[in-house]
Structure 1
């Protein structure tokens, strides 16, 4: 993301993105909340990739280079914040309650936010944000070249079910070495990272209208039931609710 643009102010606004369109890499001097009320948006930073479905919002701290890409027709809502009421220093996915959802939509679409009503809405919105729980769906980036090679194989085909020993033979590293590298580079175990990768791809495919059965197969889950179970435990919703 070396060619990123500097946009000092983080705007508070809403906009539509066509399927497969995006916003090029950029960064702000202010903090920002990104929320998709329709569709799914992927947010890429230098350290991780995040997927933001309609039950999640993403906190992006000031100075963080990031880019957006829409999957399915997507309605985006941006909330710029000069202060850091959440006390978060890293990008963080937040759970969006029904009330927080409506507040994000209504406030970012207001014509005049400086009215007494607009200021009261902002106060309630900030109060809801500070109590939102963290619910990540992210894929941390690898740094070690051997691990980068393994991750690239799984990115190309998330349905690949091989273990680290077999994958390591292509990358010139033992399974034990790769196990260590996953913890050091990503902060996750290999099964945790692979689950996040599969959920990332699954949300993209669901947003594009793919059937649940086909998504489960393409993302490497043994059965549709296994996919639904992992999806529900991770996101608190069924895959069908995202289609």
Structure 2
């Protein structure tokens, strides 16, 4: 990432971002939890992208350069935590499952920032940290390649997630054998080609659903053979159907709050 801004304190607050709006690359000296109660949040680093709908949050460790992007009308909640408080002991961005209790804790903590360091707020923060500590990690990371041939192949699929060609056929386009590419997927991205392509398709599916694209159309645009196959994969990844997520995104678009962008 180039042009990274340094923002020493990670703010605790709620803010609104219009569809497609973003927060440029920056870093904090504090840890940060970012959570979208409406819309879909994408966090990008040099190592790849993390995407989170409303039942997921993203842990961003102190010092990690990152940028935000809103898909759909976004209500963004950020919780700053001093670098001395690391309940997860994680040194890289991570997607966490958000339980109904954790969701309400995040909403309350980010909306009541005027209370300062009151005893009530300290207790709320303590419970929030306890819930973060027990929140399961979710495999919603789309790692970014670094070598030229693997980057070229990934760019092809980013441009058309529905491209169903085999690794061998894609390799002929970028000038590498399927054996070499398979090795690079494991070595650079820590997953198989099939696993990475599924992650990519889920990433694009979340974006399309946030834009109110019909489920059947999303399945087609992202390369699933049928809507039922897409629904099955989506439910296993996110714990609910794409239809329920799309309905949530549609209700978010009726929200009339002020949209703005800025540093996060």
Q: TM-score range by the shorter chain?
A: over 0.9
Using the size of structure 2 for normalisation, the TM-score is: 0.91
Is 1:63 aligned with 2:66?
A: no
The RMSD of aligned alpha carbons is 0.7
SS of the residue 1:8 aligns to:
coil
Give 2:255's aligned residue: none
Give 2:179's aligned residue: 176
Using the size of structure 1 for normalisation, the TM-score is: 0.99
8 A contact 1:85–1:130 mirrored in 2: yes
Q: Shift of the alpha carbon at 1:113?
A: 3.6
8 A contact 1:113–1:119 mirrored in 2: no
Give 2:89's aligned residue: 87
8 A contact 1:138–1:200 mirrored in 2: no
Is 1:160 aligned with 2:163?
A: yes
> Tell me, which stretches of 5 or more residues in structure 1 are unaligned?
none
SS of the residue 1:197 aligns to:
helix
8 A contact 1:40–1:204 mirrored in 2: yes
> Tell me, which stretches of 5 or more residues in structure 2 are unaligned?
247-264
Give 1:3's aligned residue: 3
SS of the residue 2:138 aligns to:
coil
Q: Shift of the alpha carbon at 1:136?
A: 2.4
4+ residue runs over 6 A deviation: none
Q: Shift of the alpha carbon at 1:240?
A: 1.2
Whole-Å Cα distance in 2 between the matches of residues 98 and 160 of structure 1? Answer: 37
SS of the residue 2:96 aligns to:
strand
Whole-Å Cα distance in 2 between the matches of residues 114 and 30 of structure 1? Answer: 17
Whole-Å Cα distance in 2 between the matches of residues 178 and 235 of structure 1? Answer: 29
Is 1:97 aligned with 2:99?
A: yes
